[in-house]
Amino acid sequence: MSGTPVLVRHGQSEWNLKNLFTGWRDVDLTEQGVGEAIAAGRKLKARDLAFDVAFTSDLKRAQRTLALMLSELGQDGLATTRDLALNERDYGDLSGLNKDDARKKWGEEQVHKWRRSYDIAPPGGESLKDTGARVWPYYLHVIQPHVLRGETVLVAAHGNSLRALIMALDGMTPEQVVKTELATGVPVIYRLNADSTVASKEILAG
């Protein structure tokens, strides 16, 4: 057995609540989001997980989620790396728009394609495939070496950056990954074999 990467999508953000496309816009957590992050930390503590290192994005909703989890774990001083490679998918011209307003402007079908297809990007933004193109190398070169040394690694990031990572870990097809939903503040615990394949996966929902 090798290491244990744990993936957590940030708690509910202010723009999640307002049904806005967020992407790289740097918005904070709601009260509910703070509660979700604290609850995630408590779930991890209940599993007696202690982390060797943590990674997060360049956006404060993920950074704050990580800080709240580490506080619950009693690991406030844990070595943490922040990198925009783990940022949410960039929604380009959709960023800041209400999703219902976007449907009125471009049509239900077009907005659905931008949101749910694998390789169709919104104007000025990234597709899920584009997001993966920065997440996958970062994982392989920066995060995975810690995992293969047998370390327990906490990654607090975003719905789409983590979906791209889960796609690689689980060997998903593009059709499978676009149907994969990640709830806010719910830890996903992987245990990897020495050859980096997945030995087990557990989602700490509920």
Each residue's pLDDT tens digit in the chain (206 positions)? 689 999 999 999 999 999 999 999 999 999 999 999 999 999 999 999 999 999 999 999 999 999 999 999 999 999 999 999 999 999 999 999 999 999 999 999 999 999 989 999 999 999 999 999 999 999 999 999 999 999 999 999 999 999 999 999 999 999 999 899 999 999 999 999 999 999 999 999 87
What's the pTM? 0.96
- Residues marked active site are found at 10, 88
Angle at 20 between CA 96 and CA 103, to 5 degrees: 95
Angle at 114 between CA 111 and CA 118, to 5 degrees: 145
4-203 maps to which CATH number? Answer: 3.40.50.1240
Distance CA 21, CA 102 (A): 9
Distance CA 159, CA 52 (A): 23
Distance CA 128, CA 120 (A): 8
Angle at 85 between CA 67 and CA 142, to 5 degrees: 80
